[in-house]
């Protein structure tokens, strides 16, 4: 059963969001009533606003045996049209007063009644039945629909409970969007399957999450840009530092956490952030255990039940444990998706002999600790006969006091094959020139990993989860 507590729900708080809250009993009643109205639908879209209604809608869809298709409310019309055409939902979940964009106007709308009751729980869907349909960012073409089964959601959450000592007594808070795996699967379904509580902060701000931590939240999920903001706030406010100090666990994911932010949080609060690594197609792959060693830049060993191997360019398994040996991450286990919707070609290319080829490159240290270097297509730079991970160069640049943000890319070079280019955002009022930054990197890591060119920019293009969109930087370079 995906939500065991629904069998005999208590009056304990399950979700608090947007000024309202639901006990487990009210959540079960509202979700079961909603499920009764969508049973038999293959896929149901959810206009994923940061509300109780969105959370209950997704839970009800999962109970019904339908698949939920979370939609980003900020999605552009062209992308939204593609997602709707590809997924073909028969209904959209949205409050009656919510103004929806034109591509959704022809789709029947259903609203969630938070006071719904009177329906019994439907039969539990089979483990292999589709539960969620997320769309990838589409950086290499139109977004692909990732079909996650109930089996992947349940097994992965159970593995995280084991890794993080996550219990029904834990209270989670976060300000992550509800149309990604991080915010929805880990951030909403995670506490509900365990029987704990979610105090959803809605739109992220240091004040919002610290208010929940001061009120009893024990865990915080965030992305690196959020921890940057929290570090800034903690350095200027003793109350923010004190609130973060209350947490049992601070978890970062969705993008690499710079060592600088790890150290700033540690210095101001005494907390060492736990890092983890996953993808839409796999949910979570690795996580630093709550009782494990927390080293900045390392996402921990594979989760229980999940197998990880690294392979080189020839497909040969990398056996060594050393930070200079880079390989592509392959994953196998119950956490894998069913495939890409309507794309058997893409599924066959990504999953071979039962192993999902992530496209990420990493090293493996003692104890099986994985360190993600970056994407094979954009972050593995072949320069002068060496393979250089962009993430290592970025981490070195971020240690310079003048650097606020940085992204590193590789660009064609007649002599080197590819040259390392750094895109740098300086801190307000800071001054640094290209030669100074290049020398700084050469003094920290191998000289062949230094940038050959530094470009100063006012900001880096990022998506909703804080990931730098390097394809956009490449387009700027080409222009």
Asked if 388 and 420 touch (Cβ cutoff 8 Å), the reply is yes
pLDDT of residue 333: 98
Tens-place pLDDT, residues 434-464: 999 999 998 888 788 899 999 999 999 887 7
What is the rounded CA–CA span in Å between residue 284 and residue 148? 12
Distance from chain centroid for Cα 155: 17
Q: Any idea which of 126-140, 159-173, 182-196, 292-306 has the lowest mean pLDDT?
A: 126-140
What is the rounded CA–CA span in Å between residue 290 and residue 106? 48
Q: Any idea which of 80-84, 267-271, 348-352, 470-474 has the lowest mean pLDDT?
A: 470-474
pLDDT of residue 125: 97
Cβ-based neighbours of 320, under 8 Å, separated by 6 or more: 364
pLDDT of residue 140: 52
Cβ-based neighbours of 299, under 8 Å, separated by 6 or more: 275, 276, 277, 286, 287, 288, 369, 370, 371, 372
Query: Is pLDDT at 79 greater than 90 in this prediction?
Result: no
Domain ranges within the chain, ordered by starting residue: 1-125, 192-333+356-374, 380-478
Query: Is pLDDT at 116 greater than 90 in this prediction?
Result: yes
* pTM metric for this prediction: 0.84
Instruction: Name the helix (H) or strand (E) containing 456.
Output: strand 453-456
Query: Is pLDDT at 231 greater than 80 in this prediction?
Result: yes
Rounded to 5°, angle at Cα 470 from 469 and 472: 75
What is the rounded CA–CA span in Å between residue 328 and residue 318? 9
Q: Any idea which of 165-169, 196-200, 409-413 has the lowest mean pLDDT?
A: 409-413
Tell me which residue has tokens 């640094």.
432
Tens-place pLDDT, residues 291-301: 999 999 999 99
Q: Which residue has the higher pLDDT, 373 or 349?
A: 349
pLDDT, mean of residues 247-253: 97
Q: Any idea which of 91-95, 392-396, 424-428 has the lowest mean pLDDT?
A: 392-396
What is the rounded CA–CA span in Å between residue 309 and residue 328? 8
Rounded to 5°, angle at Cα 85 from 2 and 284: 35
Asked if 287 and 276 touch (Cβ cutoff 8 Å), the reply is yes
453-456: strand order across its sheet: 403-413, 417-426, 453-456
Residues in the chain: 479
pLDDT of residue 321: 73
pLDDT of residue 385: 65
Query: Is pLDDT at 77 greater than 60 in this prediction?
Result: yes
Distance from chain centroid for Cα 168: 23
* Complete DSSP assignment for 384-423: TTEEEEHHHHHHHHHTSTTEEEEEEEEEEETTTEEEEEEE
What is the rounded CA–CA span in Å between residue 432 and residue 422? 13
Distance from chain centroid for Cα 137: 12
pLDDT, mean of residues 149-173: 98
Res. 120 pLDDT band, cuts 50 70 90:
very high
Supply the mean pLDDT for the chain: 92
Distance from chain centroid for Cα 390: 20
Asked if 43 and 89 touch (Cβ cutoff 8 Å), the reply is yes
The dihedral sign for the CA sequence 169, 175, 176, 177 = positive
What is the rounded CA–CA span in Å between residue 102 and residue 354? 41
Burial 349-388 (b: 16+ CB within 10 A, else e): ebbeeebbbbbbbbbbeeeebbbbbbbbebbbbebeeeeb
pLDDT, mean of residues 401-426: 88
End-to-end Cα spacing for the chain: 53
| 1-125 and 192-333+356-374: identical CATH topology | yes
**CATH hierarchy code of domain 1-125:** 3.40.50.980
pLDDT of residue 390: 83
Query: Is pLDDT at 15 greater than 90 in this prediction?
Result: yes
State the fold for domain 192-333+356-374: Rossmann fold (3.40.50)
What is the rounded CA–CA span in Å between residue 461 and residue 258? 17
pLDDT, mean of residues 412-423: 85
Q: 3-state DSSP call for residue 441?
A: helix
What is the rounded CA–CA span in Å between residue 156 and residue 242? 32
C-alpha R_g of the chain: 22
If phi > 0 it is left, if psi is from -120 to 50 it is alpha, else beta; for residue 291 that is: alpha
* Complete DSSP assignment for 354-378: TEEEEEEEEEE-GGG-EEEEEETTT
pLDDT, mean of residues 57-66: 98
**CATH hierarchy code of domain 380-478:** 3.30.300.30
């Amino acid at each position: 059963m995906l939500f065991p507590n629904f069998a005999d729900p208590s009056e304990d708080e399950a979700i608090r969001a947007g000024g309202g809250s639901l006990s487990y009993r009210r959540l079960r009643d509202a979700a079961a009533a909603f499920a009764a109205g969508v049973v038999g639908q293959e896929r149901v879209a959810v206009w994923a606003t940061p509300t109780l209604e969105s959370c209950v809608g997704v839970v009800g869809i999962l109970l019904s045996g339908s698949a939920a298709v979370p939609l980003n409310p900020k999605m552009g019309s062209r992308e939204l049209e593609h997602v709707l055409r590809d997924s073909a939902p028969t209904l959209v979940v949205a409050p009656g007063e919510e103004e929806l964009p034109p591509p959704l106007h022809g789709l029947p709308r259903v609203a969630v009644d938070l006071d719904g009751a009177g329906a019994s729980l439907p039969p539990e869907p089979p483990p292999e039945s589709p539960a969620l349909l997320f769309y990838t960012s589409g950086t290499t073409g139109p977004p692909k629909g990732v079909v996650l089964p109930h089996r992947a959601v349940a097994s992965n959450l159970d593995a995280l409970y084991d890794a993080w000592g996550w219990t029904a007594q834990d209270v989670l808070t976060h300000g992550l969007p509800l149309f990604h795996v991080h915010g929805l699967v880990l951030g909403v379904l995670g506490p509900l399957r365990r029987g704990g509580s979610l105090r959803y902060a809605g739109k992220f701000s240091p004040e919002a999450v610290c208010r929940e931590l001061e009120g009893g939240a024990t865990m915080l999920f965030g992305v690196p840009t959020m921890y940057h903001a929290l570090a800034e706030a903690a350095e200027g406010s003793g109350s923010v530092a004190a609130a973060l100090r209350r947490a049992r666990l601070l978890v970062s994911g969705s993008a690499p956490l710079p060592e600088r932010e790890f150290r700033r949080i540690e210095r101001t609060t005494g907390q060492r952030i736990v890092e983890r690594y996953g993808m839409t197609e796999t949910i979570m792959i690795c996580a630093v255990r709550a009782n494990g060693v927390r080293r900045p830049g390392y996402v921990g060993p594979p989760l229980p039940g999940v197998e990880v191997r690294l392979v080189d360019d020839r497909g040969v398994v990398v056996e060594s444990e050393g930070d200079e040996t880079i390989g592509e991450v392959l994953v196998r286990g119950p956490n894998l998706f069913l495939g890409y919707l309507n794309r058997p070609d893409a599924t066959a290319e990504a999953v071979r002999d039962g192993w999902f080829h992530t496209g990420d490159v990493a090293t493996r240290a003692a104890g099986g600790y994985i360190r993600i270097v970056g994407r094979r297509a954009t972050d593995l730079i072949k320069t002068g006969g060496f393979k250089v991970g962009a993430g290592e160069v970025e981490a070195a640049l971020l240690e310079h006091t003048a650097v606020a943000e940085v992204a590193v890319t590789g660009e064609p070079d007649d002599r080197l094959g590819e040259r390392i280019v750094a895109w740098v955002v300086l801190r307000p009022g800071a001054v640094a020139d290209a030669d100074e930054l290049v020398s700084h990197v050469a003094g920290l890591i191998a000289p062949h990993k230094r940038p050959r060119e530094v470009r100063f920019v006012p900001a880096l293009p990022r998506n909703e989860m804080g990931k730098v969109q390097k394809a956009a930087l490449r387009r700027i370079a080409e222009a």
